[in-house]
A and B are shown apart, each in its own frame.
Chain A
């Protein structure tokens, strides 16, 4: 197939509506007679609910309903785990409303439905809840003591654990010339998309159809959960995806509100809208990244890595959410990174604490694992007197070792196998772009009194998760191509990228393609948008469906032209003869007519449509290297990043403009996350970072010059496009890289960064503690 669009930096077709204020985000949706919901949330981190008095709220003018746990169906089930399950986690799931206990500040206790949000909030204030506060735990070390147990059914806060094992790691350690042990902690932070969560639900009692606007990310899965919870057939539930203001892994999982809002709509018999405000979002939407890890590394004196032993503790929060143990499991599963480490053991521990539940945030487990691993590598390099870059190059898996089997480091019991990659090439390009050698040879302390440092990190990342994804492509009136997808879009530009893939796959101009996504009515099932899987999975499904549709188009054309399909080709939206030169022999508008009932040239179903599913069990691995140059003001603890470089190989780059945007955006998000953002709790489980005054997002003045190098040196052998996921690579090594750079800058003080964030207060403290 000719490649006109794939690989081209095409500007997005969907931009016009966003630029003119005509996009339709969830809160822009207004349904006739619509009411508004607000949610009462626990102010306590841990407490028994003695009683709830809703009388005054119910009698407030403009209030239609006040819903508490007792109003939920008797058969209500807690929200299940979608992926990354472990035995034991099922004991700590969350019901849509708290029953006898609240377990984190923000735990939903009641729902008010009223004429507008102002009145709904007035009503929240007069709901009287009698709480009996209980002691709370806000740290995994406290949680592990089991002095305060969150879930009686579990009887412990260590609600799930498992071990990953590769080779004989104890043997490797007992024979090793060098070992080192450290403890690391990655701080709690999360995605904070600029649009908060929201839903509009409307139930038509006459037809028994429930419509919900707002679901995204994994709408089919969520629809199936809702169908179980409401005891409604899934075919009667229709999810519609509006325009979405970002997700980053946070938005779109099944939360309590995903049950409560439809339930409220059914109960009051009117459409109900709920839009989360920012304070709610900070305490109710998934947190992430918080991992504590005790780790040991074994190596030869020449720097050859022999083994890693790790105990990983994931701070799960108060309830296990739909992601199960993804954060500690991927931290453990990918801890060895792109390096040749023949033996490895990781104990994964899921610990409950009285904080908001955790889930994925862009690069889950990978950010944490990169920090742990890459800091260790710098420590090893320093101890053994080897240049940190050389140490890494010596141990990076080489292209001639591909495909490379790491071992059984997936908790689904399958082996981790790197499909393709040239890790040293990305590594060298990143360092060259940073001018690593020149920077390393400069003195640490500059004339302005600041300390300069350089940090590097390499990563490898599983993407393109299966097991399947589908695409339905229809050729319609006038030769318009309509592509129906189950995947969703949260800002990535799928409407453009999928159109590029379809255009090349089919042989039509991109302008003739319309992409429809996100509604559960488009395809019967879909796995969704996460883990950088859409280009690989939906893109491959489109490629297959386009091929099938093209075959049908040529068959219809051939029948009409009384020739063989093999003599024809479809190019730029027109059918051409392969054997005789000259202009097009048919245009698609005509072909559509030829396939219409009454005119059909090919017997069978009228119309031209193809539906295909791309199926795969293996994951495809993107990879890359980050490098940073920083200057640290040791007197104030402030960091200036002078240059940040990301080199990432995405296998096949469909749209360089958009991929570059993902890369720069991801790096920026990671820089903010590493230096500024932290979901701070006090020891009693109170969330102190409750607003944007305290949870600090990076602004235009906080983002340094970023160079993003997008590589296509190792296409994936696992899908027809050769693509790998491209959405997360640029964020996941930011903690590691900046921590290495700061440790390098402050080496004269003896600073060894083992925790995050790189806040000014922390930096001053580390200097003080290591340089008394």
Chain B
């Protein structure tokens, strides 16, 4: 789905508009051209990638960029590459549908493959891009949480150069990231999988394909004795940015996870959560269900899906 409940306009503002406002349109063919345009126009410009989030907002005139920079024609911004160590480099303009079908992704980051079918519908994934979803940073989106859980690094490019920002520092709050006005997210780098770790993914939504009411991406790393050495619990849909549930992690490390310790971890997560409410789910709901999705995702991870 393109945009979530949080972004739909208060009808006060939009007056039932469904055709885009006027703007100037550019379709650069190189990254240098694209960043030059952003350097020139800054806050007056918006990037058009897959369009599945931007176009609804344009149609409703919730955003009124003076300039639209269409990245779809820029060479070399897409594609998935696996490195010798097993890590991945994913071009920002890679379509979600390509991620869904990629055997490389399935091998190097299977949790992404498992999560893709939950993103909207086929028509959205045919156009939607990984870079677009990450830059848009909807609090209930899957990709920001997945990348955070995977400890991804994002390459941000501008006309003055490049910088790399880890996912955990990239997402600030609702629809707000560390991207500067003149920067473009151009690459996602995913480190190689850790031997012995396994993952789980679980989300609750009112209809399949919707943004989640609450969701969790979990990694666990058990040693030979079955003791949890490391864990990651990232929630989405329960805060402005992906939420790292350290209390939940703390409840697991050093234990041999069983039903009781999973429940304890889930309770610790719920305890800490301060989620927002909206018309689809109250804060109370998200607080409780946040624990539930963590427990179910952890259970999946422990069932031994290897990373």
Say if A and B assemble together.
yes
Q: Per-residue CB proximity of B1-12 to A under 8 Å, as 1/0?
A: 111110111111
Q: What's the minimum C-beta distance from A314 to chain B, rounded to whole angstroms?
A: 23
Selecting from B84-92, B94-102, B104-112, B282-290, the interface stretch reads B282-290
Neighbouring B residues of A562 by C-beta, 8 Å:
none
Complexed CA–CA distance, A40 and B210 (Å): 31
Neighbouring A residues of B209 by C-beta, 8 Å:
699, 701
Q: What's the minimum C-beta distance from B262 to chain A, rounded to whole angstroms?
A: 13
Selecting from A83-91, A454-462, A758-766, the interface stretch reads A758-766
Number of interface residues of A (CB under 8 A): 44
Complexed CA–CA distance, A680 and B5 (Å): 12
Cross-chain pair count, CB within 8 angstroms:
108
Neighbouring B residues of A122 by C-beta, 8 Å:
21-22
List the B residue with the shortest CB-CB distance to A44: B12
* Pair A759/B206 contact, Cβ less than 8 Å: yes
One of A280, A638, A689 near B16 (C-beta < 8 A): A280
* Pair B213/A279 contact, Cβ less than 8 Å: no
Neighbouring A residues of B208 by C-beta, 8 Å:
699, 701-702
* Pair B11/A687 contact, Cβ less than 8 Å: yes
Q: Known A277-B18, A280-B16, A696-B210; judge A761-B5 contact (CB<8 A).
A: no
Q: What's the minimum C-beta distance from A583 to chain B, rounded to whole angstroms?
A: 58
Q: What's the minimum C-beta distance from B141 to chain A, rounded to whole angstroms?
A: 13
* Pair B16/A279 contact, Cβ less than 8 Å: yes
| B36 interfacial contact with A, CB 8 Å | no
| B279 interfacial contact with A, CB 8 Å | yes
Q: What's the minimum C-beta distance from A36 to chain B, rounded to whole angstroms?
A: 10
| A686 interfacial contact with B, CB 8 Å | yes
Complexed CA–CA distance, A40 and B15 (Å): 7
| B292 interfacial contact with A, CB 8 Å | yes
* Pair A693/B5 contact, Cβ less than 8 Å: yes
Among A117, A636, A686, A760, residue most surrounded by chain B Cβ atoms (within 10 Å):
A636
Complexed CA–CA distance, A337 and B1 (Å): 41
| B60 interfacial contact with A, CB 8 Å | yes
The A-contacting residues of B in range 247-301, CB under 8 angstroms, are 279-282, 284-285, 288-289, 292
Q: Known A636-B292, A693-B1; judge A279-B11 contact (CB<8 A).
A: yes
| B114 interfacial contact with A, CB 8 Å | no
Q: What's the minimum C-beta distance from A386 to chain B, rounded to whole angstroms?
A: 35
Q: What's the minimum C-beta distance from B9 to chain A, rounded to whole angstroms?
A: 7
Neighbouring B residues of A186 by C-beta, 8 Å:
none
Among A638, A686, A693, residue most surrounded by chain B Cβ atoms (within 10 Å):
A693
Among B9, B16, B17, B282, residue most surrounded by chain A Cβ atoms (within 10 Å):
B16
List the B residue with the shortest CB-CB distance to A698: B207
| B19 interfacial contact with A, CB 8 Å | yes
Complexed CA–CA distance, A43 and B284 (Å): 30
| A177 interfacial contact with B, CB 8 Å | no
| A493 interfacial contact with B, CB 8 Å | no
| B55 interfacial contact with A, CB 8 Å | no
| A477 interfacial contact with B, CB 8 Å | no
* Pair B289/A690 contact, Cβ less than 8 Å: no
**Chain B residues within CB distance 8 Å of chain A:** 1-5, 7-22, 60-61, 204, 206-210, 213, 279-282, 284-285, 288-289, 292
A-B contact sample (9 more), CB < 8 A, given A43-B13, A759-B206, A764-B288: A117-B19, A118-B19, A122-B21, A637-B285, A676-B206, A676-B207, A687-B11, A693-B8, A694-B8
For the complex of A and B, list the 6 residue pairs with the smallest distance between their C-beta atoms, beginning with the closest: A277-B18, A43-B12, A280-B16, A118-B19, A279-B16, A701-B208
